Amino acid sequence: MKTIMIVIGTRPEAIKLAPIITALETKKCFNHKICITRQHTSLLDLLLESMHIKANYQYEAVAIDN
């Protein structure tokens, strides 16, 4: 079975991807993993919790000064 990685960084992305995540969970035709990039943590956390979406991976982006 193929695996799909879904990457979510912002609240609008989570809203747009929620129906796709729901379909993947319902159909069971693909394995799927969810990665959160944590760009806007407070808004995104509340939304994901309300939609019952749980991340498999979290990526903490850090700005690097050059």
Domain boundaries in the chain? Answer: 3-58
What is the predicted pLDDT for the residue at 66? 67
| Residues 6 or more apart in contact with residue 45 via CB below 8 angstroms | none
What is the predicted pLDDT for the residue at 45? 86
Give the residue ranges of the chain where pLDDT is below 70. 40, 66
Find where tokens 């749980």 sit: 54
Q: How far is CA 44 from the centre of its chain?
A: 9
Dihedral of the alpha carbons of 45, 8, 54, 35, in degrees to the nearest 10: -130
